[in-house]
Amino acid sequence: MTATQFTLIFIVVLASTSLARLWLARRHLVHIAAHRAAVPEAFREKVALADHQKAADYTSAKTRFAMLGILFDAALLLAFTLGGGIQSLADLCNAWFDSPLTQGVATIVAVLLLSSLLEAPFSLYRTFVIEARFGFNKMTLKLYLIDALKGLLLGALLGLPLLFGVLWLMSAMGSYWWLYVWLAWMAFNLAILFIYPAFIAPLFNKFTPLQDEAMKARIAALLGRCGFTAKGLFVMDGSKRTAHGNAYFTGFGKTKRIVFFDTLLERLSGDEIEAVLAHELGHFKRRHVLKRIVLTFAMSLGFLWLLGQLMQTEWFYQSLGVHTPSTALALLLFFMILPVFSFLLQPLMSAYSRKHEFEADAYAARQTAASDLVNALVKLYQDNAATLTPDPLYSSFYDSHPPAARRIAHLQSPRLQSN
């Protein structure tokens, strides 16, 4: 393949992907607008029309803004590649540093920092305009900036040693460097799973042990029935950033924790909280977390092998606006264009995730009353302003959870109700 040929392929695929994403977003907007006037039949007894319309307007606002982001992302990628942005930053870093390893790290960091800076206005608008307009944002500008600074410092503390190690392995381990990098990447991610609950998450939120003794007893009984152990039950002060509610497991092995947003505990009844927790337990009992980790690692191995083949060709660099090949620029180019070429994997990954959600719901229905999980989900849809009427095709591409109507119908099916 020649550089010109791959440049043409890249432009065509980027344009096609961007247009497909815009078309899907437009379908989503039209579908939501067409169903805004009435609450779906399955929810009319539980969801007020005003709440349904708020969810429609909130989802539409986010989708319209996302369409602008699609165009911006495409333009930024073109500027970095065919526009020569990466090469210009590489030339600048090469003039400042003597070591090829340091030059490579500096170039990647420069691209990441510049991208973050250019994308910051989008994040600010999303948080302080869209989220605030619909009553969800609780974050002050000061807290936003503090979070950004903490994230930057944490990224430097954890990311820079990893980046130095990856680039060193790429240059020192010969033709099988991709295997060594993959092993290092796996070790890094598994280490993060262990240290995140106790050391990383508390940097951003306050976690306090659950104090409600009655709730603790209910949860302990549920954990006993499910054969599950956790290091602790914690309440997170999510309300200082957002009005959205959630509950989740975090950690791995003996570091597993159960975390509830304070907003969730305020909104749901004891039976409903138990049902939500049973759903999360279902993910562990069905080994969904392990399956996703294995899938992620398998895909990363395949991608690193592919990078190993591409970085040996001159056309890969030249076709993307780089005329000084290096391992760092190969790594940077590959993972910048990967989302463009892997777009069609999105619906497959979403379908896989939705399958897990159905399985976790079925598990919860065996451990608690399915009606309690239905009631909890309806409240969460209302509180989070999640639309009840997403476009089916849009949902199949992007939604990691089943649409509300399908999920509720599954939980109300005679097969689950009889368990």
Q: Report the catalytic residues.
A: 280, 361
Q: Are strands 232-236 and 207-209 parallel, antiparallel or unpaired?
A: antiparallel
DSSP secondary structure letters along 323-367: SS--HHHHHHHHHHHHHHHTGGGHHHHHHHHHHHHHHHHHHHHHH
Distance, in Å, from the CA atom of 220 to the CA atom of 26, rounded to the nearest integer, reads 46
Q: Tokens in use for 166?
A: 């990856």
Provide the total of helices (H) and of strands (E) in the chain, helices listed first.
18, 4
Q: Assess contact for 23 and 346: CB atoms under 8 A.
A: no
Distance, in Å, from the CA atom of 67 to the CA atom of 25, rounded to the nearest integer, reads 7
Q: Are strands 232-236 and 247-250 parallel, antiparallel or unpaired?
A: unpaired
Hey, what long-range contacts does 86-91 have (CB within 8 A, 24 or more apart)?
86/111, 86/320, 86/321, 86/322, 86/329, 86/332, 86/333, 87/321, 87/322, 87/323, 87/324, 89/114, 90/322, 90/324, 90/326, 90/328, 90/329, 91/324
Distance, in Å, from the CA atom of 248 to the CA atom of 268, rounded to the nearest integer, reads 15
Sheet of 247-250, strands arranged across: 207-209, 232-236, 257-261, 247-250
Region of residue 139 (phi > 0: left; psi between -120 and 50: alpha; otherwise: beta): beta
Q: Which H or E element spans position 209?
A: strand 207-209
Which amino acid makes up residue 394? Y
